[in-house]
Each structure stands twice: as C-alpha cells, then as structure tokens.
Structure 1
Amino acid sequence: MSELNTTQFLQETVPAMLDRLEAGAPRRWGKMSPQHAVEHLSYTVKLSNGKVTMAQVTPDDQLPRYREFLMSDRPFRENTVSPVMPPEPPPLRYPDLATAKAKVKQELQDFYRYFAAHPTAQTVNPVFGPLTRDAWERFHAKHFAHHLRQFGLEA
C-alpha cells in the first residue's frame, strides 16, 4: 500500500468501514467483541499520537526483522498474539460501540494533527519500537485491516 493509499485508507475507508461495523457482528477469530476491537484500535492510535506511552518489549536486535514485516505488504495473521495484550479482553471503557467508534475516529484525526505539528517525531510502538509518522501509518493500516477482517469487513 503506497503512502497516499495508506493515508486515504485511514482517513476515508476506515471511518466508512467502522460505520458498517455492528455490535453483534460475529467474529471470525479471537476473543474480542466489535467494541473491544475498536477500543483496542483506539488505544494503539493513542500510542502513536503521543497521548499514552508504553515501553518497547521487543529487543533492539530483533527490531529489523519486525520492521521488515511492518513495511511489507503481508497482513497480520489471524489469531496473532500481541506480547502486550492480556489473554482475555479488558473491561470495556465506553458505554457502547457508537461511542467507541467516535473515539477511534477522533484519535485518528489527532494522529494526523500530532505529526503535522511534530513532523520529525517518533513515538514508541511496544512491538516495533520508535516509529515515524509513515511507519505508524503502515502499522495502523495493517492493524485496522486485520481487525476489520476479523468481523467480515474487507478493505
């Protein structure tokens, strides 16, 4: 996915697909409900836009291999286990899916505002290490596509 396509995907396609996501949508894999997935996505965008921080868990010597995957066109596999996620979904933060969707859309807008104001910034992804705006865009595109596919919404 090119940078332009990635930006368009996150700014236009993702919000439209989120609008189609329903609370009762059956999942193809994993334990997250649609609302859990949206809240999880929102939290990861907060990592990129500087609102929350998390320590890097991947050893520095393994980062090149992880980043090679990140910059590839390979998607996250079904049932990918994150080293920073608990085995069970955490309690929901928001009262309903509509609120969670609005929040993640706002976080994506804040992501672009953050990097417009701080173009050389790098924020830490716990698995992929410090990332630039472009690398975070790649991550978010893969991550959103993964969770949208989880509920039958194909990009």
Structure 2
Amino acid sequence: MQSLLNGDTHTEIINRLDKLNENSERLWGKMTVGQMCWHCQYPLKLAITNKKNTSRGNWFIKLFFKKSLYDDKPWRRNLPTSPQLKAREPKNFKEERDKLKSLINEFHSLQGREVWYPHPTFGTFTKDQWGQLQYKHLNHHLTQFGV
C-alpha cells in the first residue's frame, strides 16, 4: 500500500494535483475541483495537529470500516461524506489547491514523528497507517477528477 510518507508517493500526488485546473471535470459526485481541494485538507490537518483526544470513536465504524481506510482496495464512488467535510459553498480552486499542497508537504515532512495520537472517529493508527490513509483519500479524489 502506498503511503504519503514515502518520497515517491508524495511526488506522485503533488504531480497529479498539478495536473488539475479550475475547469477540471469530476467523473462522479457533486463537488467542484475547488471544493474537492478544500475537502481533502481536513484529514491532513487532523493528522498534522496530532491532538490527544479522549474520544473512543464509533465501535461500529471501527469494526467494519477502519481496515478499508488503509488497504489496497480502492474506495467505491459516491461514498457518503461526513457533514462537516461537505463543501456547501463555492471554493477558489487555486487558493484551495495551494493550501492542500502545503498540507501535503507538511504531512510528508512528519516521517520522523514518533507519537501519533488516535483519530477521533477511527481510533489508533500506526504511522504507516496514517500515511496510507492520507494517500488513499487523496488518490480517491484525484481519480474522481481524472488525474
């Protein structure tokens, strides 16, 4: 499984992101390319801030879905989106893409981090699983826009 903490994978994601433009058309879903760039920022921010939380997460989600977050099987199209991650208003593509690239670079720079706190919904991830999750989410949405 590819990981955003890997150098070649990081470069691949940045190169694919650079192929997008404000006119990139989605192959499925409802988000515009600017909204997608905004949407992809939250999981990266969550990992980067690495805040200790006391939430035990949702046992049902952990039991049935957690492993699919970092395995090799692609996510299916049109999966439901958490309400706080839905872009409800237009987003400026260039601004959101630049923010996303910055977060991708910042996450990639955390290869040496030893302590990774649990995800508030899915619980504990290893460093490798965090990197795989970030790659899988970005890959899903870049594929959504044909790159």
Interval of TM-score (by shorter of Structure 1 and Structure 2): 0.7 to 0.9
Distance in 2 separating the partners of 1:54 and 1:15: 30
Which residue identity is paired with 1:89? A
SS at match of 1:15: helix
Q: In the alignment, residue 119 of structure 1 is paired with which amino acid?
A: E
Unpaired stretches in structure 2, ≥5 consecutive residues: none
Counterparts of 1:134-153 in structure 2, within 5 Å, are 134-153=128-147
Q: Counterpart of 1:129 in 2: which secondary structure? A: coil
**Which residue is 1:91 aligned to?**
89
Cα RMSD after superposing both structures: 3.0
Native 8 Å contact 1:48 1:125 kept in 2: no
Q: Residues 109 and 125 of structure 1: is their aligned pair in 2 closer, same or farther, counting only changes over 3 Å?
A: farther
Q: Is the alpha carbon distance of 1:56 and 1:104 closer, same or farther for their aligned partners in structure 2, counting shifts above 3 Å?
A: farther
What amino acid sits opposite 1:136 in the alignment?
A: W
Q: TM-score of the superposition, structure 1-length normalised?
A: 0.77
Identity rate, percent: 23
* Runs of 5+ consecutive residues of structure 1 not aligned to the other structure: none
Q: For residues 78-133 of structure 1, what are the alpha-carbon distances to aligned partners after superposition, in whole Å with 9 as ceiling and x for unaligned?
A: 00112x2369623356xx322212211111222234453x312224153x333232
Maintained 8 Å contact 2:2/2:135: no
Stretch of structure 1 that moved more, 44-53 or 12-21: 44-53
1:105 aligned to which of 101, 107, 123: 101
Alignment check: 8 A CA contact 1:49 1:123 kept: no
Per the alignment, residue 40 of structure 2 pairs with 41
